[in-house]
């Protein structure tokens, strides 16, 4: 998980079963979800969080309670066209399912681009909501910016055994 190309105008912390998250927004769209222990997470912006952050937090709480499988908050994804193509495809991976980096590469029209797809996946600025944790290596679980224990916990929450 990397910091978006711009610092969010608003940032709000959130406690979750996997640890504290920080949600970022430009005021109208969710622009970042920082996983626990990410030193690059912005500092909370104080009281008066915009509605999009409150809505994202509520939807994430529902997800962790197993009451939500899809998210519908407006997103502001900052990245290259290729990264945005990869992230759009990530959003199509159903809850409780995984695909390989090779399959993701095929889906974005770069069948020999597993490594590039993996790098774009790792730069996803909106973890969980844009489900980069659902991409696994062909020979195992693969990596995860938030660490393998968090990836395993998210997949287990969705009923995927690793």
92 given a catalytic annotation: no
109: exposed, middle or buried (C-beta count within 10 Å: 0-12, 13-18, 19+)? exposed
Q: Which member of 35, 132, 136, 154 is catalytic?
A: 132
Angle at 16 between CA 154 and CA 124, to 5 degrees: 55
Task: Locate 32 and state its tokens.
Answer: 């970042």
Contact 155, 135 (CB under 8 A): no
Q: Which residues are catalytic?
A: 132
């Amino acid at each position: 998980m990397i910091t978006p190309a711009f610092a969010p105008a608003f940032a709000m912390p959130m406690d979750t079963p996997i640890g504290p998250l920080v949600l970022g927004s430009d005021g109208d769209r969710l622009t970042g979800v920082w996983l626990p222990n990410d030193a690059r997470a912005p500092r909370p912006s104080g009281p008066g969080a915009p509605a999009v952050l409150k809505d994202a937090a509520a939807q994430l709480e529902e997800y962790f309670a197993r009451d939500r499988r899809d998210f519908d908050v407006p997103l502001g994804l900052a990245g290259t066209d290729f990264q945005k193509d990869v992230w759009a495809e990530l959003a199509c991976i159903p809850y409780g399912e995984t695909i390989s980096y090779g399959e993701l590469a095929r889906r974005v029209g770069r069948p020999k681009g597993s490594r590039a797809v993996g790098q774009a996946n790792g730069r996803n600025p909106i973890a969980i909501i844009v489900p980069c944790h659902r991409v696994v290596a062909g020979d195992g679980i693969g990596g995860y910016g938030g660490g393998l224990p968090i990836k395993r916990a998210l997949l287990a929450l969705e009923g995927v055994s690793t």
